[in-house]
Amino acid sequence: MQIRAKTKIMLERSGLTRFQIKVLEETAKIPKGEVRTYKEIAKAIGSPKAYRAVGTSLRKNPFPIKIPCHRVIKSDGRLGKYSGKSGPRKKLLLESEGVKIRQGKVEV
């Protein structure tokens, strides 16, 4: 699912930064059944070291409807804090999309 020009304008208008827009676009481009690491996202938007900023941005997730943040994981295959303690949501979501989990890690 790709973000449309209209949506982008909407994002900018929502008070997001350029960095955010790119993060959201990249995240929205992740195909079903696949995952992308924070690092890959950061690299894709031009700041390979801003992986942390990516996480911060997704955490604030302006559009949870359009942005499947559960497809964004850590570089070593772990899910990250999205799963947290409130229950295995990220894991279940990913598994439902065809991503296999191996002992807390995404299948490599």
* Positions marked active-site: 69
User: Does 53 interact with DNA (rule: CB under 7 A)?
Assistant: yes
- Identify residues 9-28 at the interface with DNA (CB under 7 A): 15-20
Pairing between β-strand 105-106 and β-strand 101-102 as defined by DSSP bridges: antiparallel
User: Does 87 interact with DNA (rule: CB under 7 A)?
Assistant: no
Pairing between β-strand 36-37 and β-strand 72-73 as defined by DSSP bridges: parallel
Residue from 63, 80, 97, 101 touching DNA (CB under 7 A): that is 80
Neighbours of 4 (CB within 10 A): 9
Whichever of 3 and 55 has its CB closer to DNA, that residue is 55
User: Does 52 interact with DNA (rule: CB under 7 A)?
Assistant: yes
Q: What share of the chain is helix, strand, coil (3-state, %, to 5)?
A: 45, 10, 45
> Which residues neighbour 86 within 8 Å (Cβ) at sequence distance 6 or greater?
none
User: Does 37 interact with DNA (rule: CB under 7 A)?
Assistant: yes
Neighbours of 61 (CB within 10 A): 16
Residue from 3, 11, 24, 58 touching DNA (CB under 7 A): that is 58
- The residue ranges that bind DNA (CB under 7 A) are 15-20, 37-39, 47, 49-53, 55-61, 69, 72, 74-76, 78, 80-82
